């Protein structure tokens, strides 16, 4: 029994839209590293935007409109009009722009927004980007290069701020159940209570292996390397040690997001224009979108299924047709739960695929090949843009050591967050 | 619309708890009850609802022990033992909640009894009351 969402069918875009350029800064703890300490929002967004425009082979003059995204601009940056705070940084002074914020789903909605602007016919070339500094937070009244730690207490207050204050926050249950209520049901439906720690530790090890090979990742060491550092036998020993305690009922510290700073941007335009200007554009076939407020039990499951049904019915493609799946796994179990809900993995077998490393970047059903939110890092509103970056680069065959084994022609990107938005996009390589 | 047309929904809900009443809003078209109360019906989309006093009959649909990392310690200090999960009132949809007076050590036993009956309990908070649920044993 559960909440069944019935939405009107998703309609085809008025004109097809493709990504022609993409850019991303590394995910960083900027204030902890002398090389990056003092970096701030305008320049990070600017670097990502400039890289995306260069990647597309265009200049700022060619862009008609830009969209700025950030999860919680008041919390991180102490600003109320964030699109204006980056406005002078990438050559588009005077152009129209707007801002949106859907917490951890922001970067996924960023694509939906950009696609809508172009598909409507209002603009031909739109830049959509995000910058989040969740770790190195601004002061309210000091220059932006001066930062302070966005510590756990501040972050907990921020998490509470995504719960509606009419009734949900006062339930005292929403935050506590949120990350594990779907997993709890799945564990007991599949009778894997005695196996789930093994599954999640394998998943953490494999995801970290991908993250350590990715130059944009926050983490550059594997769990095997960490085990050596702590004089332990191997990664499994480390992952079950006191250095990786349970924070939830099933999830350990290594199964939760790692907060960080970073930016990303992409350029979209009509597909017919994209085909003329580049041979490696990526078409967006559509984006399903369902939102459930956080008082709904297992909302991640129901809204994921709904967003997936929308895009499946629109395109006629299923998860089984995909070559890559991205999940926005800020609690790591989402990798196999979401992949199963979207039929990328067989029903009730997602945990087995994860346990057998078949969902690793070098497995036969790769999921979250950048390492994901728990190992690659989570710069909240920007993470979705980095997932799209990963998909575009995988489709181009440019991911080097983490390039998946077979050609990536189709990818599904499940976005999640914002208390809570769930999106499901299907992307297709035009190469 | 005039100011007089805008009636309090949230405040009326909390004021009713002060009197020991638990209110939802019943759809005038399909009969679904929105609990807690909202303006319009989330099942059929009808735009008109009216006040409805909840029967208090409900079952627990999922139960878990509070987590180490995300439970609210001050809440446990105030109410004692509790577990988290979801409840399904007979007239309305399922929602997340706390089960007051339930030791985390009973989770495995109670999970085997789902859906098990619970009844509402109104707890005094700092300046307002809130409704939770307890076992109806």
At A245-255, the pLDDT tens digits run 999 999 999 99
Q: Which of B94, B95, B96 to mutate to test the interface with A (most CBs of A within 10 A)?
A: B96
CA distance A187 to A194: 9
Strands (E), A317-376: 324-326
Of the pLDDT bands very low, low, confident and very high (cuts 50, 70, 90), residue A15 is very high
Report whether A89 contacts A42 (CB < 8 A): yes
Report whether B118 contacts B102 (CB < 8 A): no
Q: Which residues of A132-167 are buried (b: 16+ CB within 10 A; e: fewer)?
A: bbbbbbbeeeeebeebeebeeeebeebeeebbeebb
Partner residue opposite A297 with nearest CB, options B72, B94, B111: B94
- Output the six-digit token pair for A113: 């927004």
Residues B124 and B69 in one domain: yes
Residues B68 and B124 in one domain: yes
The reply to whether residue A176 touches residue B95, judged by beta carbons under 8 angstroms, is no
Residues B8 and B36 in one domain: yes
Main-chain phi, psi angles of A295, to 5 degrees: -80, -10
Strands (E), A223-357: 261-270, 282-291, 324-326
The reply to whether residue A297 touches residue B130, judged by beta carbons under 8 angstroms, is no
Residues B68 and B125 in one domain: yes
Residues B43 and B21 in one domain: yes
3-state secondary structure of A241: coil
Instruction: Determine the pLDDT at residue A153.
Output: 82
Spatial CB neighbours of A299, under 8 Å, sequence gap ≥ 6: A3, A292, A293, A420
Q: Which residues pair with B95 in a beta bridge?
A: B87
Instruction: Determine the pLDDT at residue A159.
Output: 83
pLDDT tens-place string over residues B56-68:
999 999 999 999 8
The reply to whether residue A1 touches residue B94, judged by beta carbons under 8 angstroms, is yes
CA distance A403 to A425: 21
Q: For residue A351, is pLDDT > 80?
A: yes
Residues B131 and B64 in one domain: yes
Q: For residue B11, is pLDDT > 80?
A: yes
Identify all chain A residues contacting B88, using CB atoms and an 8 Å cutoff: 1
Output the CA angle A131-A53-A103, nearest 5 degrees: 20
Main-chain phi, psi angles of A314, to 5 degrees: -70, -45
Average pLDDT of chain A is: 96
Q: For residue A331, is pLDDT > 80?
A: yes
CA distance A286 to A87: 29
A267: left (phi over 0), alpha (psi -120 to 50) or beta: beta
- Output the six-digit token pair for A266: 């992409």
The reply to whether residue A167 touches residue B36, judged by beta carbons under 8 angstroms, is yes
- Output the six-digit token pair for A89: 């940084």
Share of chain A above pLDDT 70, in %: 99
Report whether A325 contacts A342 (CB < 8 A): yes
Residues B63 and B125 in one domain: yes
CA distance A340 to B8: 43
Report whether A304 contacts A335 (CB < 8 A): no
- Output the six-digit token pair for A96: 């129209």
Of the pLDDT bands very low, low, confident and very high (cuts 50, 70, 90), residue A284 is very high
Pair type for strands A282-291 and A421-429: antiparallel
CA distance B20 to chain A (A): 17
Average pLDDT over residues B4-27: 97
Main-chain phi, psi angles of A259, to 5 degrees: -65, 140
Residue in the block written with tokens 């989402």: A334
Partner residue opposite B95 with nearest CB, options A188, A256, A296: A296
Residues B69 and B42 in one domain: no
Pair type for strands A17-24 and A282-291: antiparallel
The reply to whether residue B68 touches residue A171, judged by beta carbons under 8 angstroms, is no
Q: For residue B36, is pLDDT > 60?
A: yes
Total domains in chain B come to: 2
Report whether A383 contacts A373 (CB < 8 A): yes
The reply to whether residue A297 touches residue B96, judged by beta carbons under 8 angstroms, is yes
CA distance A148 to A139: 7
Instruction: Determine the pLDDT at residue A157.
Output: 82
Residues B63 and B126 in one domain: yes
Report whether A183 contacts A249 (CB < 8 A): no
Average pLDDT over residues A343-369: 98
Q: For residue A1, is pLDDT > 60?
A: no
What domains are there in chain A, each with its CATH number?
17-154+260-275 (3.40.47.10)
The reply to whether residue B70 touches residue A175, judged by beta carbons under 8 angstroms, is yes
Output the CA angle A138-A134-A220, nearest 5 degrees: 125
For B83, the domain range is: 58-135
Q: For residue A281, is pLDDT > 60?
A: yes
End-to-end CA distance of chain B: 48
CA distance A416 to chain B (A): 19
- Which residue in chain A has the smallest CA separation from B86? A297
Residues B13 and B65 in one domain: no
Residues B72 and B94 in one domain: yes
- Output the six-digit token pair for A289: 């979108």
Residues B68 and B104 in one domain: yes
- Output the six-digit token pair for A240: 């079950």
Report whether A21 contacts A54 (CB < 8 A): yes
Average pLDDT over residues B24-51: 97
Q: Which of B14, B64, B79, B87 to mutate to test the interface with A (most CBs of A within 10 A)?
A: B64
Sheet holding B23-27, edge to edge: B33-34, B23-27, B49-53
pLDDT tens-place string over residues A192-202:
999 999 999 99
Instruction: Determine the pLDDT at residue A154.
Output: 85
Instruction: Determine the pLDDT at residue A160.
Output: 84
Partner residue opposite B67 with nearest CB, options A166, A174, A249: A249
């Amino acid at each position: 029994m559960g909440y069944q969402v019935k939405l009107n069918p998703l309609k085809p875009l008025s004109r097809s839209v493709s990504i022609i350029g993409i850019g991303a800064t590394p995910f960083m703890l900027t204030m902890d590293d002398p090389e990056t300490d003092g970096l701030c929002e305008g320049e990070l967004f600017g670097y990502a935007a400039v890289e995306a425009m260069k990647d597309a082979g265009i200049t700022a003059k060619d862009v008609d409109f830009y969209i700025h995204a950030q999860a919680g601009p008041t919390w991180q940056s102490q600003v109320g009009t964030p699109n204006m705070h980056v406005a002078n940084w990438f050559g588009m002074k005077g152009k129209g722009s707007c801002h949106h914020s859907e917490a951890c789903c922001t970067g996924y909605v960023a694509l939906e927004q950009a696609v809508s602007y172009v598909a409507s016919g209002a603009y031909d070339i739109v830049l959509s980007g995000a910058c989040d500094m969740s770790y190195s937070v601004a002061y309210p009244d000091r220059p932006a290069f001066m930062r302070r730690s966005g510590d756990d207490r501040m972050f907990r207050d921020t998490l509470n701020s995504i719960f509606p204050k009419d009734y949900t926050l006062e339930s005292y249950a929403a935050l506590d159940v949120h990350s594990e209520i779907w997993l709890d049901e799945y564990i007991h439906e599949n009778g894997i209570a005695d196996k789930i720690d093994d599954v999640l530790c394998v998943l953490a090890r494999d995801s970290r292996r991908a993250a350590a090979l990715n130059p944009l990742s926050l983490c550059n060491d594997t769990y095997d390397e960490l085990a050596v550092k702590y004089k332990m036998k191997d990664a499994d020993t480390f992952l079950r040690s006191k250095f990786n305690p349970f924070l939830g009922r099933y999830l350990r510290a290594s199964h939760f997001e790692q907060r960080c700073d970073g930016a990303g941007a992409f350029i979209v335009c009509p597909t017919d224009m994209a085909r003329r200007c580049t041979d490696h554009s990526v078409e967006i076939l559509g984006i399903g979108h369902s939102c459930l407020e956080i008082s709904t039990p297992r909302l991640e499951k129901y809204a994921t299924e709904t967003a997936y049904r929308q895009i499946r019915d629109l395109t006629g493609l299923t998860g089984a047709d995909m070559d890559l799946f991205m999940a926005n796994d800020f609690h790591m179990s989402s990798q196999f739960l979401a992949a199963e809900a979207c039929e990328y993995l067989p029903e009730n077998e997602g945990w087995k695929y994860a346990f057998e490393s078949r969902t690793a970047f070098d497995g036969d059903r790769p999921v979250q090949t950048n390492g994901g939110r728990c190992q690659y890092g989570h710069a909240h509103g920007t993470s979705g843009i980095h997932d799209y970056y990963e998909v575009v680069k995988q489709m181009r065959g440019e991911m080097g050591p983490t390039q998946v084994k077979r050609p990536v022609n189709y990818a599904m990107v499940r976005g999640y967050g914002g208390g809570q938005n769930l999106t499901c996009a299907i992307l297709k390589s035009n190469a | 619309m005039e100011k007089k047309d805008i009636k309090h929904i949230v405040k009326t809900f909390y004021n009713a708890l002060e009197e020991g009443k638990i209110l939802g809003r019943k759809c005038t078209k399909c009969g679904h009850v929105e609990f807690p109360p909202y303006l319009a019906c989330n099942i059929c989309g009808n735009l008109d609802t009216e006040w409805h006093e909840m029967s208090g009959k409900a079952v627990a649909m999922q139960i878990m022990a509070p987590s180490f990392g995300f439970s609210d310690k001050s809440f446990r200090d105030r109410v004692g033992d509790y577990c988290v999960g979801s409840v399904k009132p007979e007239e309305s949809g399922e929602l997340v909640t706390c089960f007051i007076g339930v030791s985390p050590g009973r989770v495995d036993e109670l999970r085997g009894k789902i859906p098990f009956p619970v009844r509402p309990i109104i707890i005094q908070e700092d300046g307002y009351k809130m409704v939770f649920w307890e076992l109806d044993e």
